[in-house]
Amino acid sequence: MAVDLHIHTVASGDGEFSPQAIISFAKEKELETIAITDHDSVESVEEAIYLGEKYGIEVIPACEFSSRYQDTWLHILGYFLDYKSPEISDWCAAIAKNRLDNVDAQIDKLQEAGLYIDKEAFLQDNPQPMPICYGKALFEDTRNKNNKLLEPYRDMDNRLVQFALDWLVSGQPYNVPQELPAVEDVINLIINNGGIPVLAHPAVTLGTRSDDAIDKFLSLGIQGIEASTSWHKQEEQDYYLQFCKERDVLATCGSDFHGRSKPHIAIGQVENNSNDVVEQLKRLKK
């Protein structure tokens, strides 16, 4: 049976669908197991588990945590977390506050570049804004319709993601740095709360020539690498599958489904997604 271990709900700042909708999609795709991996949030986990039990789908409690390594942003997936832990709740609340505290500075920087965002409408639609949320607001604001910076992206299938990667994520020209926890602190948080830390879509943040960095993460407690994901090209997937094989590290799989912000990614749309991956995660949990 097939699984999908990287799915976002409306609890993510850039997610679209409720837990009910996610479970329905998973049922339609005949998935056996899914993981709810919202950005720095576990708000949808309990409802998804309840609905999953009702419809015969195993739901792994999880979260995709934001972190930094030197000047690079990273996402660390934590599987089988104690999602009711006060430490997890406090941690996620602190990240949410940092995002909101960053809104004015981020909008100011975009306006300095000649781009427009209506702050009140933006926050109403994006209570926990991620980089993709800013891109979406820019494309929807009619005052930006003739902006040359946006023009090359308008006909792209994945324009919101690509624009965010080029201009808005950490280290890019229009990013206002947000305080993010160090990768070792995120790994310790996951482990201390019963979870299994897995490095998400590494080719996006590190590239495929970053073995030394990943080896360091492994020494800090990372127990898996998301090799199969919608973010990775075939050669990148193959590279990380081989990397995991050589180091006897778990290779995980996930679509990174969000909804309209990634319009061509469907739940279950990922390779190497047999239930064997879940069984390996459970062995690590034990």
Query: Which one-letter DSSP state was computed for residue 206?
Result: T
CB 257 within 8 A of CB 9: no
Residues with Cβ within 8 Å of residue 276, at least 6 apart in sequence: none
Supply the pLDDT for residue 126. Answer: 86
Give 123-164 pLDDT, tens digit per residue. 988 888 989 899 999 999 999 999 999 999 999 988 998 999
Q: Do 195 and 235 fall into the same domain? A: yes
Crossing angle of helices 183-192 and 86-101, rounded to 10°: 150
- Amino acid of residue 50: Y
Q: Do 20 and 91 fall into the same domain? A: yes
Q: Is the pLDDT of residue 174 over 80?
A: yes
Q: Do 198 and 223 fall into the same domain? A: yes
Measured from the Cβ of residue 154, the count of other Cβ atoms closer than 10 Å reads 11
User: 151 by DSSP, 3-state: which?
Assistant: helix
Q: Is the pLDDT of residue 185 over 80?
A: yes
State the CATH number of the domain containing residue 265. 3.20.20.140
Q: Is residue 33 within a helix (H) or strand (E), and if so which, with residue range? A: strand 31-36
Residue 72 burial by Cβ neighbours in a 10 Å radius (0-12, 13-18, 19+) = middle
Supply the pLDDT for residue 13. Answer: 85
Q: Do 222 and 112 fall into the same domain? A: no
Q: Do 69 and 192 fall into the same domain? A: yes
Give 191-243 pLDDT, tens digit per residue. 999 999 999 999 998 988 889 999 999 999 999 999 999 999 999 999 999 99
Domain count, the chain: 2
Q: Residue 205 to residues 145, 151, 173, 201, 232: CA-CA distances in angstroms?
A: 30, 25, 16, 7, 11
Q: Do 6 and 94 fall into the same domain? A: yes
Rounded to whole angstroms, how far apart are CA atoms 238 and 180?
Answer: 30
Query: Which one-letter DSSP state was computed for residue 271?
Result: S
Q: Do 156 and 20 fall into the same domain? A: no
Mean of per-residue pLDDT scores for the chain: 94
Q: Is the pLDDT of residue 1 over 80?
A: no
Q: Residue 256 to residues 79, 232, 252: CA-CA distances in angstroms?
A: 14, 11, 12
Q: Which residue has the higher pLDDT, 262 or 12?
A: 12
What is 84-125 written as a DSSP string?
T-HHHHHHHHHHHHHHHHTHHHHHHHHHHTT----HHHHHHH
pLDDT band at 61 (very low <50, low <70, confident <90, very high): very high
Query: Domain range for residue 142?
Result: 103-168
Q: Do 8 and 81 fall into the same domain? A: yes
Q: Do 113 and 93 fall into the same domain? A: no
Question: Which phi and psi angles does 279 have, rounded to 5°?
Answer: -60, -40
Measured from the Cβ of residue 221, the count of other Cβ atoms closer than 10 Å reads 16
pLDDT band at 177 (very low <50, low <70, confident <90, very high): confident
Supply the pLDDT for residue 158. Answer: 84
194 assigned to some structural domain: yes
Q: Do 132 and 227 fall into the same domain? A: no
Q: What is the mean pLDDT of residues 30-59?
A: 97
Q: Residue 161 to residues 114, 118, 200, 208: CA-CA distances in angstroms?
A: 20, 21, 16, 20
174 assigned to some structural domain: no
